[in-house]
Structure 1
Amino acid sequence: MPERPHLAVVGAGPAGLAGALAAAARGVRVTLIDAAEQAGGQFYRQPAAALGARRPQALHHQWRTWERLRDGLDHHLTSGDGHFTHLTDHHVWCVERESDSGGFTVHALRGPAQEEGVTVRADAVLLATGGYERVLPFPGWTLPGVVTAGGAQAMLKGGLVLPGRTAVVAGTGPLLLPVATGLAAAGARVAALVESADPRGLPRQARALAAQPGKLLEGAWYASTLVRHGIRPLTRHTVVEAHGTDRLEAVTVAALTADGRLKPGSARRIPCDTLAVGHGMLPHTDLAETLGCTLTGTDVRVDDEQRTDVPGVWAAGETTGIGGAALALAEGHIAGRSAAAHLHGASPDPSRWAAAARARTRLRAFFAALDTVYAPPAGWAERLTDDTVVCRCEEVTAGEVRTAVGALGAGDLRTVKLLTRAGMGWCQGRVCGPAVAGVAGCPLTPGRRPFARPVPLGVLARLPEREVTD
């Protein structure tokens, strides 16, 4: 029997799982590679088995969808035919296209120490690498007790722990709702939900929103949960400063005017030991950029089959644009079916995934409408004091960035980086990039990197010479 064509799927969140299962069901050999110890991604993040969670479904929405994905994964892994491999705790740092064969080599680091290199060779690749939170600084944001909204959610879902006893959830975007309600349901007192967006902008997007009644019902459920827990939503408000000495003790919030500026005399101080703050998400595109995939803004550009413009590379989920789990599932399913057809040398039949394509269209319109409402408040960068740190790795302040622009003539992120070291640390600008761009007043342009994460020199030294020099 001829060997089955091989698809490597990077990321085991909703998009990666949907794509891997769709391809495997159509006779493709699949290797699913993920950095986590369990499948699910951030949305379906599971507590460690050793914690003995009795009701993990209490931390999740769409639990039945997760059960179907989990059961499908288990079925393929236990079938005994060896055509499906799930590599957990593998951190992919590069994907190379092999010029001689047209295939791909996926490079990963294995284990918590990430000191052992692993390579996977495949005929095609599906990138389902998800997204990461946009972090916008403010005075006091480096205090212990200040976490991202997604970080607070990850602690709760993955570790069954609360980041604190009294929390303020702040920023902008739909993610704030599940974070606030999840913390409250787990026993934290949520002193305030601080949303910078103006809810009066939602009716102007009524057509796109009405096309997703399930999402509207979900929003109504969150609203009723906030009321039940006595959580105060402060809309058109923002965090001005976090206070404390050794750790967070309180935050100051203020109302925003119609043009996003601080309303004079509206500041109020809220005692808390935790601030979970987030201003939306951005796609993970490092691997796509290394392969040469074209980006539209910050999103990987794909066609109707979720194909990138690099032959043999598909992309799905948040990496093609932030849109939530349901959209990621639809895109992953389409990508898996399309990849399977092409790997078998057949012409894909879009009618086979028509339902997923319709869902994708509606959900993209829905989240595009939300994006027009949930945007970071105008003037946030102007409110930063010169001594506010914007790059934590290199301890670069807003004042240093302003000097690089105003006195030294920097006009883009790369030049600011060269003059200040902002973005030269461990995160390589992934965390501080939006903040530095905002302070500098320049576009957030993705930087093409050869590696998606730090790699030990020993791993590079052990690679075959051809792979190092190509």
Structure 2
Amino acid sequence: MIPTRAADVVVVGAGAAGLHAAVQAADGGASVLLLDADVRPGGQYHRQLPVEFGAVRPERAHHEQPAAADLIARLARHRRVTQRQQVTVWAAEPRVGGGALLYLADVSSGRAVDAGVIAAPRVVLATGAYDRTLPCPGADLPGVYTPGAARALLQGARIVPGHRVLVAGTGPFLLPVAAGLIDAGARLAGVLEANHTRGWVRRPRAMALAPEKVAEAARYTATLTRHRTRVRAGRAVVAVHGNGRVESATVAKLKPDWTIVPGSEKTVETDAVVVGYGFVPQLELALALGCDTEPGPDGSPVVAVDDAQLTSRPGVYAAGELTGVGGAVLAAAEGALAGLATALDLGTLGERGHAARASAWQGARARYRRFADALAAVYPVPDGWQSWLTEDTVVCRCERVRYGAVRDAVTAGATGLGTVCAATGCGRGRCQGRSCGAAVAGITATLSGVDGPAELPDPLALSARPVDTPIPLGQLAEDPDHPE
């Protein structure tokens, strides 16, 4: 298929970073194509109710960020912006002269109905992040959700995952999820934070950098307090139980290294467990384009960018969580700067206009990058969680790979992440390692005796793949009549 040029700038992802990149590039005079795999723009943080719900103001579903609705509406009217929803970029390769060739699949209604290859002179990758999941006995039971999944159900469909819900893990994202569950009518069996958040007391300057986030956390905490629910720190769900679905969970106090305090275990009745441990950047497209990575705030790999959000590849920019997890405000600032940089690079925006528009965003980026560093310090994920695992604990849900199989593979000499996955089947399922990858890498590193996944010979083995998103074979054959 002959590639077509769709726009001056192609933005992949319509979350906070992608929305701001698109509007700033377009305001700077560039034509923009905004691609997103979801039904509506907004991403996870600005998720909206479906049109079919008939809500008078569906875009106001996220009441904490009403400005997002105005931004989404503005993009919809912008004469230099074309939006395509339910379109996935399933592969990418560098383009001669800069930018990229992007291979698209329209998977609306679950069918491959359109395909295309576009030549993008400038690309902004704003692909976001995945929930970081950690295995524990029983975590593969129906009724166990990630915070992102629970949030998507609440904001995108007004569905409550259970009647009595236990929320656990680490990170500030647990607060809006817990408050949202309460607002939707669920009863909370508890809210457990694995870390001790007194770490914020030692970082008053970091809190002062992000007053909006402090106020937001206070609002969520007030909601929990009104319903007589408090966050219990230093505790975690270490096992889930049930006959065919979740019925109860074992919770325990944790030492600072996340090993269990002996004798602290107790059983909590619940019909749903929402558990997550922060986020993992979505690197697949960036790696396919050959972008360099570097350690992020928590030590995990992120896309390396310069002050203009330009990656190591000419014409390829990155913004948001894939350059380091730091929240929607940081993502918005990075997206805006990437969009402005593309317009400057293309010559549709002059130096003076760029400098005037970029100044405020640069300040916001600097503040929230420091705040992101503090988040990583206050909410670490130490390796002690691996002590919760048993021989039969499922670590890869797609392929039903158990902890014992990973241990046996490493014992037999498979010390690289890729060789462990080849020997066990981890990462071969539909999620392609997105759910289990971080955990399997951590387990492999510990069993191999190295200091973290970054020290493995192939730490990005589950993120570098020729096909980024699973698509029907009929899509590759360009057969719109191919059955599902």
- How far apart in 2 are the matches of 1:58 and 1:190? 25
2:355 is aligned with 1:355: no
SS of 1:245's partner is coil
Pairing partner for 2:130 from 108, 129, 132 = 132
- Return the letter of the residue paired with 1:335: A
**CA distance 1:306–1:267, shift in 2 (3 Å):** same
Once the two structures are superposed, what CA deviation does each residue of 1:283-341 show, in whole Å capped at 9, x if it has no partner? Answer: 11100000000011321111000110100001111111111111111111111111001
SS of 1:179's partner is helix
1:443 aligned residue:
453
Given the two structures, how large is their TM-score scaled by the length of structure 2?
0.90
- Return the letter of the residue paired with 2:364: A
2:387 is aligned with 1:382: yes
Q: Contact between 1:5 and 1:344, CA under 8 Å: does it hold in 2?
A: no
SS of 1:424's partner is coil
1:10 aligned residue:
12
More deviation in 116-125 or 87-96? Answer: 116-125
Pairing partner for 1:372 from 358, 369, 377 = 377
Pairing partner for 2:314 from 311, 315, 318 = 311
Pairing partner for 1:269 from 246, 267, 283 = 267
SS of 2:264's partner is coil
2:351 is aligned with 1:343: no
Deviation at 1:51, TM superposition (A): 1.5
Q: Contact between 1:166 and 1:191, CA under 8 Å: does it hold in 2?
A: yes
1:43 aligned residue:
45
2:103 aligned residue:
107
1:86 aligned residue:
83
- How far apart in 1 are the matches of 2:72 and 2:94? 31
More deviation in 151-160 or 378-387? Answer: 378-387
1:425 aligned residue:
429
- How far apart in 1 are the matches of 2:252 and 2:369? 32
More deviation in 175-184 or 107-116? Answer: 107-116
- How far apart in 2 are the matches of 1:47 and 1:155? 10
Q: Contact between 1:318 and 1:328, CA under 8 Å: does it hold in 2?
A: yes
- How far apart in 2 are the matches of 1:329 and 1:229? 33
Percentage of identical aligned residues: 45
Pairing partner for 1:166 from 154, 164, 167 = 164
- Return the letter of the residue paired with 1:311: P
Q: Contact between 1:197 and 1:377, CA under 8 Å: does it hold in 2?
A: no
Q: Contact between 2:98 and 2:316, CA under 8 Å: does it hold in 1?
A: no
1:278 aligned residue:
276
Q: Contact between 1:196 and 1:377, CA under 8 Å: does it hold in 2?
A: no
- How far apart in 2 are the matches of 1:326 and 1:10? 18
Deviation at 1:266, TM superposition (A): 1.4
Pairing partner for 2:177 from 179, 194, 215 = 179
More deviation in 59-68 or 244-253? Answer: 59-68
Q: Contact between 2:15 and 2:43, CA under 8 Å: does it hold in 1?
A: yes
**CA distance 1:340–1:260, shift in 2 (3 Å):** same
1:329 aligned residue:
332
Once the two structures are superposed, what CA deviation does each residue of 1:206-239 show, in whole Å capped at 9, x if it has no partner? Answer: 2212222222222222221110112132110011
Pairing partner for 1:302 from 302, 305, 327 = 305
**CA distance 1:5–1:146, shift in 2 (3 Å):** closer
Pairing partner for 2:398 from 369, 393, 401 = 393
- Return the letter of the residue paired with 2:211: P
- Return the letter of the residue paired with 1:220: A
1:468 aligned residue:
none
Q: Contact between 1:401 and 1:416, CA under 8 Å: does it hold in 2?
A: yes
Deviation at 1:352, TM superposition (A): 3.1
Deviation at 1:379, TM superposition (A): 1.2
- How far apart in 1 are the matches of 2:258 and 2:357? 46
- How far apart in 2 are the matches of 1:46 and 1:312? 31
Q: Contact between 2:7 and 2:33, CA under 8 Å: does it hold in 1?
A: no
Q: Contact between 1:4 and 1:27, CA under 8 Å: does it hold in 2?
A: no
- How far apart in 2 are the matches of 1:428 and 1:259? 29
Once the two structures are superposed, what CA deviation does each residue of 1:225-261 show, in whole Å capped at 9, x if it has no partner? Answer: 1101121321100111111001101111011123422
**CA distance 1:122–1:55, shift in 2 (3 Å):** closer
**CA distance 1:401–1:365, shift in 2 (3 Å):** same
**CA distance 1:25–1:4, shift in 2 (3 Å):** farther
- Return the letter of the residue paired with 1:41: G
Deviation at 1:29, TM superposition (A): 0.9
1:98 aligned residue:
95
Deviation at 1:103, TM superposition (A): 4.8
- How far apart in 1 are the matches of 2:375 and 2:95? 40
SS of 2:385's partner is coil
More deviation in 47-56 or 356-365? Answer: 47-56
Q: What is the RMSD computed on CA atoms of the aligned residues?
A: 2.0
2:75 aligned residue:
73
Question: Which residues of structure 1 form unaligned runs of 5+?
Answer: 464-470
- How far apart in 2 are the matches of 1:261 and 1:305? 42
Deviation at 1:421, TM superposition (A): 1.3
